[in-house]
Structure 1
Amino acid sequence: MDQTASHPHAPDVAFDGGDLDCGNGLLLLIRRHIDPLPRGGLLEIRSTEISVDDDLPAWCRLTGNELVSFLKEGKQRSFLVCKGRLEERAPAPPPVAAPAMSVPAAPRPARVPVAAPAIPALAVMGIGSWPRPRWMIDAMHAYVEGRLPEAAFQETADDAVRLAIAAQEKAGVDVVTDGEQRRDSYASFVASRLDNCQLIPLTDLLPLVDHPEEFEAELRALDIPAGDVRHPAVFGRLARSRPLVAHEVDFARTVTQKPVKVALPGPYLLTRTMWMECISDRAYDSREELSADIVRVLREELAELMDAGAALVQLDEPVLSEVVFSGAKSKRSFMCGALSESLAPEQELAFARDLLNAVLDGFPRERTALHVCRGNWTPDESVALSGSYAPLVATLAQVRVGAYLLEMCTPRAGEMEILKALPDDARIGVGVVNQKDPHVEEVDAVSARIAHAIDLFGRERVLLHPDCGFATFADNPICCTGSATDKLGAIAAAVARVR
């Protein structure tokens, strides 16, 4: 774009990025200021960095925002960017202030602890996520972009949770989840709940990766616009001034009499997700320092979840599979948490084990679980990670958790017998239906898998579930609500037959 003598419109918000380039934090500052603007809102970006002349127009094209005008005087540059297209601009939009980095919430009243019901043997449950209605997804995007107030978003989510729990109860489960209806994905949602953290579109990470063309190809594998998938970015020291998921348990318990399970992204997953060069190193000197704050906020959350009456708190660590299996693939597979660099597998596994045990220390073991799978972003089995639990089982056995909820139905997961190496006093959750397969499994086949698990581990230790959630990413569910209900129903019918 040719420079002009002056901007044709006055900006609604302006900021000075100094000498930052797009790969060293400028895009994150842009995201902080542009997200609260309405469609058609104008942002002025001042910069002295020459590379921004080329990188910012490319970012605008990639994200669907319009570069309206460009000024330059000496080293000082000024870009006027419209959120969306200029023709969307209202006649006189009110000024929008940039969001504060951290606004601590008012102190919450102390909880009165609620007793959690016990989970029976051969209990049937989902892993966590459930397909969201289209109106829920629309509300989620509007909320993340600042177009929908918090109260309206939560009211919409309440309705979606009622539907998700009703469908699970219709299927005959013993333990329900709220379907993660309030989350954009199983892990990145924490950025919208923690202080000094923000969700940014994955497209904003393109300047931060070594091979942007390969990264773009990985994003295309999601089959959804990369701008709709968001990633946590850390701008300061993490703090928890409100619950991450305890409010989900609070509401779920008002609409069901069944035990409620809730999933939390594990500490290793969150550390790998949030530690990205040129972002988090502005707040933390190392990923170990970042992980200490992640452990602290997860322990605070776990304590509140125990008081809230969660029957089972599941820590999700699917990125452990990426640690040991991705080397066999020709290119890195997409998995939230696998975007940052890692050390050798043995070092990563030890780091993950220590983080998990630090979070779990002192909590009732029988109310905690660990979930591991091999990725759940697409129904295409050919691009998913593959391999038995052999390189993982020793690490899993050292995690002081009460239950393991593991992908087991697909041949990609190897033989069930290897799970005999897990502690005898832990419960074993076995995936007995494949949520990626549109075909609903026959009850006879599911019954056979359950009987095999009982032979290996004993009836009292076995829990039953799908291999993973039904809608890991809100915009890209693995299956529809009808199929999810039928698959849980097949497990329930098979358990009834075994019982």
Structure 2
Amino acid sequence: MTKIPDILLPTTVVGSYPPAGKKGLGTLIDPMRAAVKQAVDDQLGAGIDIISDGQVRGDMIASFTRRLPGVRGHDVIGKVMPPSGTISVADTKYALSKARYVKGIITGPSTLTHALHISTPMYRKREELTVDLAQALSGEAIALEEAGVCMVQVDEPILSTGSADLGIAKEAISRITSRLKIPSCLHVCGDLSGVIDEILSLPVRILDFEFANNENNLEILGEKDLMGRKLGFGCLDSTDSHVESVETVKERIRTGIDIFGAENLLLDPDCGLRMLPREAARGKLGHLVSAAKEIREELE
């Protein structure tokens, strides 16, 4: 079982990366193979400690729902069932062939639910769909663990909006993470002010939030007991193609250390980098790695 790297302030990504254009004979077999390779190469080239497969095969919703029986397009047309095979494991295995530390990523059931239209009497309430989506994806989490990832991250951006039932979200996330032996991580972007207590009750060992573009979260989290959990500390603005200076990133990291302690932080962007130009994404990750290295040296 692969563990998270035992270093101070490990760097990672939230997940998605700008997809490459299709090129080469290999695209006849797998049109996105070059994009996966480029995403992995760029993360490793930047020096990221815990990489992802880049999530380049589509948006975070369709990448999962198109493989689930009971879903057609954006419509739920019948009872949602587990996929006939795995969804993200093949690309994750490629990343694992190049790097020791890789995170597996699953779009969370609450976020999937609110992106879908229920077109069947099978589900009277969205909450019923959320639970079935969680059950359908629980096998993917186990398969990612068996493949060798060092953590499984559940992406639930919807939770900060107040639109999702957080009690059902807790049950759903538990269905995905409860059988895992490796750390589970929950990524939620946005302002946490209205939902932080409920999110802190969710059954995960790492919480990942945005701080670069949402400094209010520093104050919100600084007043809370993380109960021994690690914090994915978003210190790159994923909404802006401007590449922050190393010094700017260092200042953000220092703020996080002052509030939460260096031993409790993993460093990453606020969110996925899919919508940025490749050069901006690569530049941001490179500056994150440089900033982390310099901060480690300061702390020695």
Deviation at 1:158, TM superposition (A): 2.2
SS in 1 for 2:187: strand
Post-superposition shift, 1:128?
A: 0.8
The amino acid that maps onto 1:392 is V
Q: Which residue of 1 aligns with 2:177?
A: 360
Amino acid at match of 1:252: A
Cα gap change, 1:153 to 1:463, in 2 (>3 Å):
farther
**In 2, are the aligned partners of 1:116 and 1:309 still within 8 Å (CA)?**
yes
1:498 and 2:295 matched: yes
Alignment of 1:349 with 2:166, yes or no, is: yes
**d(CA) in 1 for partners of 2:271, 2:22:** 24
Tell me, yes or no, if structure 1 residue 128 matches structure 2 residue 15.
yes
Q: What is the CA-CA distance between 1:360 and the residue it aligns to?
A: 2.0
CA distance in 2, matches of 1:482, 1:156: 22
Q: C-alpha offsets along residues 159-192 of structure 1, whole Å, 9 cap, x if unaligned?
A: 221111111111111011111122x201222122
Report SS of the residue matched to 2:152.
Answer: strand
SS in 1 for 2:271: coil
Compare CA radii of gyration and give the structure with the larger one. Answer: 1
1:417 Cα deviation from its structure 2 partner: 3.5
Amino acid in structure 1 at the alignment position of 2:47: G
1:415 & 1:273 partners in 2: Cα distance?
Answer: 25
Match of 2:37 in 1: 162
Give SS of 2:232's match.
strand
1:165 is paired with a residue whose SS is: helix
Q: 1:294 aligns with which of 118, 133, 154?
A: 133
Counterpart for residue 303 of structure 1: 142
User: Which amino acid in 1 is paired with 2:90?
Assistant: H
Q: For residue 179 of structure 1, what is the amino acid of its counterpart? A: G
Looking at structure 2, the residues matched to 424 and 322 of structure 1 have their Cα atoms a distance apart, in angstroms, of 24
- Tell me which amino acid in the other structure corresponds to 1:357: S
Aligned to 2:187: 371
Alignment pair present for 1:245 and 2:88: yes
> What's the offset of the Cα at 1:359?
2.5
**Equivalent residue for 2:2?**
116
User: C-alpha deviations, 1:388-440, integer Å up to 9, x for none?
Assistant: x2222101110111111111101x45141322414231111111111222221
Deviation of the 1:466 alpha carbon: 0.8
Does 2:235 match 1:432? yes
The corresponding residue for 2:286 is 489
- Deviation track 1:360-383 (CA, whole Å, cap 9, x = no partner) reads 22323x521111113xxxxxxxxx
- Cα distance change on mapping 1:265 and 1:154 into 2, 3 Å: farther
Task: Give structure 1 stretches of 5+ with no counterpart.
Answer: 1-114, 140-150, 200-231, 324-341, 375-386, 472-476
| 1:63-118 C-alpha deviation (Å, 9 max, x unpaired) | xxxxxxxxxxxxxxxxxxxxxxxxxxxxxxxxxxxxxxxxxxxxxxxxxxxx3242
Q: Which of residues 98, 105, 123 is equivalent to 1:263?
A: 105
- Secondary structure of the equivalent of 1:433? coil
- Residues 100-499 of structure 1: pairs in structure 2 closer than 5 A: 115-120=1-6, 121-135=8-22, 155-182=30-57, 184-199=58-73, 232-239=74-81, 240-254=83-97, 256-274=98-116, 276-277=117-118, 279=119, 281-323=120-162, 348-364=165-181, 366-374=182-190, 387=191, 389-410=192-213, 412-420=214-222, 421-471=224-274, 477=275, 479-499=276-296
Structure 2: distance between partners of 1:154 and 1:194: 22
Could you tell me whether the CA contact under 8 Å between 2:210 and 2:269 is conserved in 1? yes
Cα distance in structure 2, aligned partners of 1:425 and 1:153? 48
Distance 1:487 1:283, change over 3 A: same
Alpha-carbon contact 1:409-1:434 (below 8 Å) kept: yes
CA contact (8 A) 2:20 2:38 kept: no
Query: What is the CA-CA distance between 1:247 and the residue it aligns to?
Result: 2.1
1: distance between equivalents of 2:173 and 2:17? 26
Q: Is the 8 A contact 2:207 2:232 kept in 1?
A: yes
Q: Percent identity?
A: 28
Q: Distance in 2 between matches of 1:308 and 1:134?
A: 28
Q: TM-score, normalised by structure 2?
A: 0.89
How many residues end up aligned between the 2 structures?
292
Instruction: In structure 2, list runs of 5 or more residues that go unmatched.
Output: none
Q: 1:154 to 1:405 in 2, by over 3 A?
A: farther
Q: 1:413 to 1:456 in 2, by over 3 A?
A: closer
Q: What is the rounded CA distance, in whole Å, between the counterparts of 1:268 and 1:439 in structure 2?
A: 31
1:187 and 1:154, CA in 2 relative to 1: closer, same or farther beyond 3 A? Answer: farther
Q: Is the 8 A contact 1:314 1:371 kept in 2?
A: yes
SS at match of 2:194: helix
Please state whether the residue corresponding to 1:454 is helix, strand or coil: helix
For residues 46-65 of structure 1, the C-alpha deviation after alignment (integer angstroms, 9 at most, x for no partner) is xxxxxxxxxxxxxxxxxxxx
Question: In structure 2, what residue type is equivalent to 1:447?
Answer: K
Whether the 8 Å contact between 1:250 and 1:308 is mirrored in structure 2 is: yes
Deviations 1:4-39 (A, max 9, x none): xxxxxxxxxxxxxxxxxxxxxxxxxxxxxxxxxxxx
